[in-house]
Amino acid sequence: QKEVEQNSGPLSVPEGAIASLNCTYSDRVSQSFFWYRQYSGKSPELIMSIYSNGDKEDGRFTAQLNKASQYVSLLIRDSQPSDSATYLCAVNISPLGDSWGKFQFGAGTQVVVTP
Amino acid sequence: DVKVTQSSRYLVKRTGEKVFLECVQDMDHENMFWYRQDPGLGLRLIYFSYDVKMKEKGDIPEGYSVSREKKERFSLILESASTNQTSMYLCGNGYTFGSGTRLTVV
């Protein structure tokens, strides 16, 4: 059974601080990894994708991937109250890594940014 | 922006009814998918489609079928709705989700 694990939280973060979210996965053949943000009552929205080991930065978000250790993380710098949401880690489970949308999702980490 | 449209935001159906959930994309994307999302269980893949008339079962296909006769439309069918199919259903293509259909089976 392929698994994607995340801490459920809630992760409480002061406004302006860095939020650090972690995700581990069990399937070694996974090639691509995604972070989605989901506001309460809304559908998930893609915020980051990462395919290679190392860091990838996009605005206030940084995704980090370590395939040897099978973890992927998301950092949110200068956290804002609008970042309060559930963050879902998604792992592409297609062996070729090319079946976009065929994911295994973690249960999500709830982030609460306090003013 | 890529748009994925789900025909209904909320649906209430009776046990045993045949239910159709519709999903339409406005991009020429080969891949489309259906997930359901339940508290404590997260998002689980029901069906995936690589192209017109091509489909693949996901993790929880039991009680569901799908239809993809045109590239832009991917339908989820509940053959005989049951109360344990009460859930949020999310359709999408590639990386993008629609706004979801909250289905209640009574």
**pLDDT tens track for B83-95:** 999 999 999 998 8
For residues A63 and B55, what is the distance between their CA atoms, to the nearest angstrom? 32
Q: How confident is the model at residue B27 (pLDDT cuts 50, 70, 90)?
A: confident
DSSP class of residue A45? E
Residue among B35, B42, B50 whose CB faces A106 most closely: B42
Number of Cβ atoms within 10 Å of the Cβ of B4 = 23
pLDDT-derived band of residue A70, with 50, 70 and 90 as boundaries?
Answer: very high
Compute the residue count for chain B.
106
User: Chain A, 27-66: which have a CB under 8 Å from a chain B CB?
Assistant: 34, 42-46, 49
Q: What is the pLDDT of residue A101?
A: 72
Residue A69: is its pLDDT beyond 80? yes
Name the average pLDDT for chain B: 94
On chain B, the residues whose CB falls within 8 A of the CB of A42 are: 99-100
Quick one: pLDDT band at residue A2, thresholds 50, 70, 90? Answer: low
Helix (H, G, I), strand (E, B) or coil at A115: coil
Number of Cβ atoms within 10 Å of the Cβ of B73: 15
% of chain B at pLDDT higher than 70: 98
Q: How confident is the model at residue A30 (pLDDT cuts 50, 70, 90)?
A: confident
- Closest by Cβ to B42, choosing from A99, A100, A108: A108
Q: How many angstroms separate the Cα of A34 from the Cα of each of A4, A22, B93, B104?
A: 12, 12, 14, 30
CA A93, A94, A97, A102 torsion: positive or negative?
Answer: negative
First to last CA, chain B: 36
What average pLDDT is seen over chain A? Answer: 91
The CA distances from residue B2 to A55, A77, B6, B28, B71, in Å, are 27, 27, 13, 10, 15
Cβ distance A107 to B40 less than 8 Å, yes or no, reads yes
Higher pLDDT, B2 or B43: B43
A110 touches chain B (CB under 8 A): no
Question: Which pLDDT belongs to residue B29?
Answer: 85
User: A1 in contact with B at a CB cutoff of 8 Å?
Assistant: no
Residue B26: pLDDT above 60? yes
* Residue B1 scores a pLDDT above 80: no
Q: Alpha-carbon distance B74 to B66, whole Å?
A: 7
The answer to whether B28 touches B98, Cβ cutoff 8 Å, is no
Mean pLDDT of A71-94: 94
pLDDT at position B94 is 80
